[in-house]
Amino acid sequence: MKSDCMQTTTCQERKNDPIEMLHSGQLVKVCAPMVRYSKLAFRTLVRKYSCDLCYTPMIVAADFIRSIKARDSEFTTNQGDCPLIVQFAANDARILSDAARIVCPYANGIDINCGCPQRWALAEGYGACLINNPELVRDMVKQVRNQVENPRFSVSIKIRIHDDLTRTVDLCRKAEATGVSWITVHGRTVEERHQPVHYEAIKIIKENMSIPVIANGDIRSLKEAENVWHITGTDGVMVARGLLANPAIFAGYEETPLKCIWDWVDIALELGTPYMCFHQHLMYMMEKITSRQEKRIFNALSSTSAVLDYLTDHYGIDWTP
């Protein structure tokens, strides 16, 4: 676990506490926990473009507490990386609370992944299978609350919905009673992948909660984010793939501006982002602004210097330090 000499509890002592933000009545714009993608460099980028709150990628709590190497690989942060929520995959209350205590000085809170539909996660008892086990969710939340002394440290959950929405409402009510700070709802069932998002279901859940609710699912522009916010009555919106395609989405850009690409190169190089990640993000960002032939050429580039040369030649931007 790496940090740039960050002082203990710095993140909680600063403004923009996420719980206060979610009670403000203003739209809170959130970067989703995306495996491989929502790491420090990308979080730094989207914060420059009006993102209010960022999540880490999902981290398996058991691996995190077992291995220093895993901690250094999975969780990197710095003083500007705030407010920050660390998302964990867990199925054991003690293990989750141990992981929460480790990250507490460096983050505003943790989130329990109760929505991942991938087979490996379900097989391990992680992710979306937890929406059918509210007692385990309760135990994990309580254990974290008991073990983490900072009262401002948030504990949230991210869920998918059931076919029978009354089960989801019941789960959320139980989570609220246990002390969950807020709930993020991806408006699809575990079986649904690309089907339309059930925003009406998110609205019903919000109407049954006293704590904040964040809406998630298929938001591709600031206008869509604002529409979902109004339709559902939620307190924030979380975006995943839309931010990958356009990290400036929350600043109102319809497609990735060249300035954002420039910023990504600067940030990624400064933070030492591995080439595969550096290149993959650019492929997503440039999807809408490049032709099919340009994509073939750009996607085949195999080094940072080749990428910089391509961008300089095609877009006239000089990245010389």
For CA atoms 129, 134, 136, 140, give the dihedral sign. positive
- For residue 245, give both structure tokens: 């395609």
Indicate the pTM of the whole model. Answer: 0.94
Burial (CB count within 10 angstroms: exposed 0-12, middle 13-18, buried 19+), residue 308: middle
CA pair distance 167, 183, nearest whole angstrom: 15
186 labeled binding residue = yes
* Residue 9, pLDDT score: 41
* Residue 307, pLDDT score: 95
Is 116 noted as a catalytic residue in this protein?
Answer: yes
* Residue 319, pLDDT score: 61
* Active-site residue (options: 11, 51, 116, 129): 116
* Residue 5, pLDDT score: 35
198 labeled binding residue = no
CA pair distance 54, 320, nearest whole angstrom: 30
DSSP state of 256: -
CA pair distance 219, 265, nearest whole angstrom: 25
33 labeled binding residue = yes
240 labeled binding residue = yes
State which residues of the chain have pLDDT below 70: 1-15, 317-321
* Residue 318, pLDDT score: 64
- Domain chopping of the chain, boundaries: 16-249, 256-313
CA angle 38, 15, 99 (to 5 degrees): 50
Chain segment 107-152, per-residue pLDDT in tens? 999 999 999 989 899 899 999 999 999 999 999 999 999 999 999 9
* Residue 11, pLDDT score: 55
Residue 29, classed as helix, strand or coil, is strand
**DSSP string across 157-213:** EEEE--SSHHHHHHHHHHHHHHT-S-EEEESS-SS-SSSPP-HHHHHHHHHT-SS-E
Determine contact, residues 28/214, Cβ cutoff 8 Å. yes
CA pair distance 191, 202, nearest whole angstrom: 17
Determine contact, residues 285/261, Cβ cutoff 8 Å. yes
296 labeled binding residue = no
CA pair distance 157, 164, nearest whole angstrom: 19
DSSP state of 27: P
Query: CATH for 16-249?
Result: 3.20.20.70
The label of the residue with tokens 């030649």 reads: 313
